[in-house]
Amino acid sequence: MNTNILDELTVVADTKIVYFIMDGLSGLPMKEGGKTELQAARIPNLDNLAARSICGLIDPVMPGVTPGSGPAHLALFGYDPIEHNIGRGVLSALGVDFKLTSRDVAARLNFATADKNGTITDRRAGRISTEENERLCEVLRKGIRLSGGVEFFLQTESEHRALLVLRGDGLGGEVNDTDPQKEGLKPIAAEGRDAPSKKTAAAVSEFVSRVREILKDEKKANVILARGFAKHVPPKSMHERFKLNPLAVAVYPMYRGLARLVGMDVAEVAGDLKEQVKILKDNFARHDFFYFHVKKTDSYGEDGNFEAKVHIIEEVDAIMPEVLSLKPDVIVVTGDHSTPSKLKSHSWHPVPVLLWSEYCRQDEVTRFDEISCIRGGLGRMPSLHLMGVTLANARRLVKYGA
Amino acid sequence: MNTNILDELTVVADTKIVYFIMDGLSGLPMKEGGKTELQAARIPNLDNLAARSICGLIDPVMPGVTPGSGPAHLALFGYDPIEHNIGRGVLSALGVDFKLTSRDVAARLNFATADKNGTITDRRAGRISTEENERLCEVLRKGIRLSGGVEFFLQTESEHRALLVLRGDGLGGEVNDTDPQKEGLKPIAAEGRDAPSKKTAAAVSEFVSRVREILKDEKKANVILARGFAKHVPPKSMHERFKLNPLAVAVYPMYRGLARLVGMDVAEVAGDLKEQVKILKDNFARHDFFYFHVKKTDSYGEDGNFEAKVHIIEEVDAIMPEVLSLKPDVIVVTGDHSTPSKLKSHSWHPVPVLLWSEYCRQDEVTRFDEISCIRGGLGRMPSLHLMGVTLANARRLVKYGA
């Protein structure tokens, strides 16, 4: 479904929208017949809000597809997650809050171990520590200068993972992975599929060979493997598309980066939920769209910690009255995807959503959970449609056709 | 979603379909926790029919998008409202029941006031009366002959609004608006984006300058502004696509025009619901698809008159037994879009629908309203899909694939 017609329909209005996203919100019972994390949680404020709202279930990409954080969030922001398939390199850059420019090509690097013949014996260099990674990156930054007017940026992610950004004029992103994906093979030579990408591939080859020279005496991390080369092609901003002036209130780098990708301002915030709510309040007059991101629901799901996930959902419930006291014209509460504790990972299950506005057309749902929301008035729809419904409720869309 | 595969699956059958459309049917409570117009209405016949039917909610264009009457109706008739984006000029022509040909380019005109320098001082010429508009159109029709073998038709809509149709060989529709959209500016010269449209633009320029000469002594309406130039490209008819022989029983010009656009026959009918039902009965043997249109549900919604909208819905309910006494094989009751009295305008909210046939697979819904229909077996789907479901229930679609 092409939702780009929204762009031609948006108008500015004096209304405020809070988009409250709990990462990996929804889940599964640990045993057949049990309760999900949301069902187990005592969330009187969210239940009351659901009772006054229109509810439903949203599919981040399509039924059955488990999304990464990138596509899941882009869909919520109104960007088709298949059309805007953000490359891994760019996601890595977003994940460390690296400010990409349109002259950049990004890739995910692994430090790896090679034997004397150059054959990879460990694709993760024994999972070196993050501190070790930082030391190596520092050495490489000091030791390498690339030819051809290409700059590079090398930034530690964690353990053996790092980000490489090449910056220059006319660099293309169509470069193959140099990672052979298996031990016992040699790294693959970088090749470009077109003229701009050949220029990138030349810079990659130069970089790789300089790394090998500099790290030749390292025990573990003596080579690098690169994958997910991606040129940064920023999508139209939410301001250009929807005439919004959005602010992200998110702590984790990946989500701050995703917000920046669609042109949001990103608040300086570190700390707990209370700190995030304070930032929301302090900035409420200066913006009209607020993306509020809670990370721990996902983290506890990934850990398989059902009880901790229930507890964090209850903590979020406790701050809801303060969020609602700001009297937004539209409030949406949902997740970007499911992270069932039972699966210890993201999953494909649709995500419950509630939307309150004066015009929401309240349905019969009185509990905010995966099962109750099935009977909601929004039905089950792609996450991609949530932005249109939100803008409509904020009276920010004019009529389509006469 | 491409529904064009339906065209290849349709067959002729000896079945009759009534498509009963209440304009702007659905709504909102006036206050949080209240009832919608449909919920407030006493509609025992529609409730009984809903109890025997499959119900659901339909989105005219997509969730969040408020449709005009054109796209909302095209979707109900099985035409993708984004693919078939009918220009304003063509809609104006439909709205005054002007019979467009494929040699026509149509535009919406405003009579306007210009000062001595040609600067627009009132884009609506002080909202002159419809009678005054008719007098001016008559003067212009008599006074103007265009060169280059181009005919023109000028027809009053209401107040300052009129329809201009240019008819000729090889006229294109890619002409800019001459309306500057703001007072204090001069009209914009008409220009064509391609050779056929340049021919149209030349005719427009000639027309505009002749109007100025003829109306130069008028106090208010001394110039015209044109917008929404659109070449009439008729879509395939419902007969070509669905092998139907449809009849429209609609009183208002816009809906008669929309029906004609998709190739329906249009019954001569003026008057109230009872008159419409009589026309339906009189013609029931001669057609197999009947588009029955009720306008007042929308009109009262636009007026913000909740009670009157409730009352007209009850009046419609009262004629249902007579409609059902015709024993159609399929009856669909729905609206083209929502027009909540609370909003006094079209809105984005989905529309309840019921479909009865011997094969409908009755669900648990027993009330015909926006909330009860959430639990219906049709779920929530684009209006565009309603025609396929209707044709299927009328046993007019063969199997897709082997």
Domain B5-84+236-393 = CATH 3.40.50.300? no
Q: What is the 3-state secondary structure (H, E, C) of B363-380?
A: CCCCCCCCCHHHHCCCEE
Mean of per-residue pLDDT scores for chain A: 96
In chain A, the largest separation of any two C-alpha atoms, in whole Å, equals 72
At B91, the pLDDT band (50, 70, 90 cuts) reads: confident
Rounded Cα distance between A95 and A163, Å, is: 9
Tokens found for residue A51: 């009772």
Query: How much is the pLDDT for A1?
Result: 59
What number is the average pLDDT over the span A245-253? 95
Q: Report the predicted TM-score, pTM, of the whole model to 2 decimal places.
A: 0.90
How remote is the C-alpha of B28 from its chain's centroid? 22
Q: Hey, is the C-beta of A1 within 8 angstroms of any chain B C-beta?
A: yes
At A253, the pLDDT band (50, 70, 90 cuts) reads: confident
Rounded Cα distance between A221 and A214, Å, is: 11
CB contacts, 8 Å: A9 with chain B: 65
Chain B nearest CA to A400, separation (Å): 5
pLDDT greater than 90 at residue B293: yes
Whether residue B32 and residue A52 make contact (CB cut-off 8 A), yes or no, is yes
Query: How much is the pLDDT for B346?
Result: 97
At A91, the pLDDT band (50, 70, 90 cuts) reads: confident
- In chain A, residues under CATH classification 3.40.720.10 are 5-84+236-393
pLDDT greater than 90 at residue B109: yes
Determine phi and psi for B344, rounding to 5 degrees. 55, 35
Q: Which of residues 2-41 of A touch B (CB under 8 A)?
A: 2-3, 5-6, 9
Whether the Cβ atoms of residue B369 and residue B50 lie closer than 8 Å to each other: no
**Residue B346's closest chain A neighbor by CA?**
A399
CA distances (Å), origin A98, targets A106, A151, A155, B291:
10, 15, 9, 58
Q: Hey, is the C-beta of B341 within 8 angstroms of any chain A C-beta?
A: no
At A243, the pLDDT band (50, 70, 90 cuts) reads: very high
pLDDT tens, position by position, B58-80: 999 999 999 999 999 999 999 99
CA distances (Å), origin B282, targets A228, B17, B97, B267, B291:
69, 15, 23, 10, 14
Chain A nearest CA to B117, separation (Å): 33
Q: Which of residues 42-61 of A touch B (CB under 8 A)?
A: 52
pLDDT tens, position by position, B295-351: 999 999 999 999 999 999 999 999 999 999 999 999 999 999 999 999 999 999 999
Query: How much is the pLDDT for B11?
Result: 97
Residue A223 sits at the vertex; the CA angle it makes with A219 and A225, to the nearest 5 degrees, is: 140
pLDDT greater than 80 at residue A217: yes
Tokens found for residue A20: 């409250």
Whether residue A401 and residue B68 make contact (CB cut-off 8 A), yes or no, is yes
Chain A nearest CA to B216, separation (Å): 32
**Residue B69's closest chain A neighbor by CA?**
A402
Q: Which residues pair with B293 in a beta bridge?
A: B21
> B275 or A94: which carries more pLDDT confidence?
B275
Tokens found for residue A401: 């056709």
pLDDT greater than 80 at residue A252: yes
pLDDT greater than 70 at residue A196: yes
pLDDT greater than 70 at residue B252: yes
The ipTM value here is 0.89
What number is the average pLDDT over the span B234-258? 94
Mean of per-residue pLDDT scores for chain B: 95
- In chain B, residues under CATH classification 3.30.70 are 91-231
**Residue B27's closest chain A neighbor by CA?**
A361
Q: Which residues pair with A20 in a beta bridge?
A: A292, A333
- Name residues whose C-beta falls within 8 Å of residue B339's C-beta, 6 or more positions apart in sequence: B23, B24, B25, B26, B27, B297, B298, B301, B302, B345, B346, B347
Q: Of A364, A396, A394, which is closest to residue A377 (Cα–Cα)?
A: A364
Determine phi and psi for A266, rounding to 5 degrees. -125, 120
Tokens found for residue A77: 């922001």
DSSP per position, A95-126: HTT----TTEEEEEEEEEEE-TTS-EEETTTT
Query: Which CATH code fits A91-231?
Result: 3.30.70
DSSP per position, A246-282: EEEE--SHHHHHHHHHTT-EE----S-HHHHHHHHHH
CB contacts, 8 Å: A389 with chain B: 63-64, 348
The H or E element that residue B152 is part of is: strand B151-158
The H or E element that residue B242 is part of is: helix B238-242
pLDDT greater than 80 at residue B2: no
